[in-house]
Amino acid sequence: MNVKSIVWGLLILVLLLMAALPTVMVIAFGMLPGMVAFIVDRTEERSATFCVGGLNLCGVFPYLLELWTEDHSLEMASSQLTDVFVLAVMYGGACMGWMLYLSLPPVIASFIQVMAERRLQQRRKTQSDILKEWGNEVIEDANLGAGIAPAPVAEESQKETAAA
């Protein structure tokens, strides 16, 4: 992040503070868990940020709407931010985000693992069928790389070759 961007960021922030200070206050306090997630999440995909931040925003948005539609003032913003229920809704959303982020990947991973095992079995069966029909010479002619281990030799084809 270069100086130019920081300057531009600060300029926008100052303008926002001047134009919509109550909104900025609610967002700044309400979106704290999302910001924490942004800081903590160092991955390229920023999945945690999106997950936590998304649901955090979901909790903040009703109070922002209230602020914008009823009374866009510092009092209103202060009353919202000092209300425990409001904070519980905002931070509860973020909490849901964290829970989603922590619980969903293992479930999906297990599902993918099962799918992969099934695909693996199918492919191994295909290979075994090929060897039974076309013989072990297929392994040689397939010209596989050193890291790819051939499937087990089909016994029936071996017996046939010997008999022939």
Partner 1 sequence: MAEEPFDADKVDSAAPPKGGSIVLRDRFLISGDKPLPNLDSPNAQAYMAEDRRDFSRDLFALVCSPGIPPRTDAMRRLKSDPGAGALELVDWGSAFWPLIGRRTVVIIYERPLGGRVFEQIKNNRARINEYDIPRKIIQPLVAALRHMASINVPHRAVRPDNIYFIDEECQEIVLGECVTSPEGFDQPIMFEPLERALASPAGRGKGSMVDDMYSLGASIVVLALGVNPIERMKGEDLLFRRTNMSSYATICGNARVPILLLEPLRGLLSDTPNERWGLDEIEKWLNGLKQTPQQKKAAKKGDTPVRFGGRDHTNVRTLAHAFNRQIPEAVRVLKDETFHAWLKRSAGEGDLSDSLKGFIDTSAFHKDGMQGSDEFLVARCCAAMDPLGPIRYKGVSVYVDGLGPMLAMEVIRNGNVQILTEIVLRDIYQFWTSDRAVFMDTVEAASVFAQVKAWLTNNVAGQGLERALYELNQGLACQSSHISDDGIIFIEDLLPALDHAAGQVEGKSKPTDRHVTAFIAARFNEDILPHLKALTAQKESTSVIGMLSLLAFLQWKLKAEPVYGLASWIGGLLGPAINGYHSRTTRREIKREIPKLVRKGSLPDMFDLIDNAEKRQEDQNGYADAVEEYAISAHEIENIEGTGSELTEKAEKIGQKAAATISIITTMIAMTIMFITEML
Q: Please, what is the minimum distance in Å from the beta carbon of residue 85 to partner 1?
A: 17
Choice between 24 and 139, CB closer to partner 1: 139
Q: Please, what is the minimum distance in Å from the beta carbon of residue 118 to partner 1?
A: 10
Report the Cα 10 to chain-centroid distance in Å.
30
Binding interface with partner 1 (CB under 8 A)? 43, 45-55, 57-58, 61-62, 65, 69, 97, 100-101, 104-110, 112-113, 116, 119-120, 123-124, 126-127, 130-135, 137-139, 141-144, 147-148, 150-151, 156-157, 160-161, 164
Q: Please, what is the minimum distance in Å from the beta carbon of residue 96 to partner 1?
A: 9
Choice between 9 and 150, CB closer to partner 1: 150
Nearest residue to 87 via CA among 63, 67, 69: 63
With residues binned 3-state (H G I as helix, E B as strand, rest as coil), the percentages for the chain, rounded to 5, are: 80, 0, 20
Q: Please, what is the minimum distance in Å from the beta carbon of residue 67 to partner 1?
A: 11
Residue 60 CA to residue 76 CA, distance in Å, equals 14
Residue 4 CA to residue 2 CA, distance in Å, equals 5
Choice between 17 and 158, CB closer to partner 1: 158
CA triple 143-147-153, angle to 5 deg:
65
DSSP letter for 142, please.
Answer: T
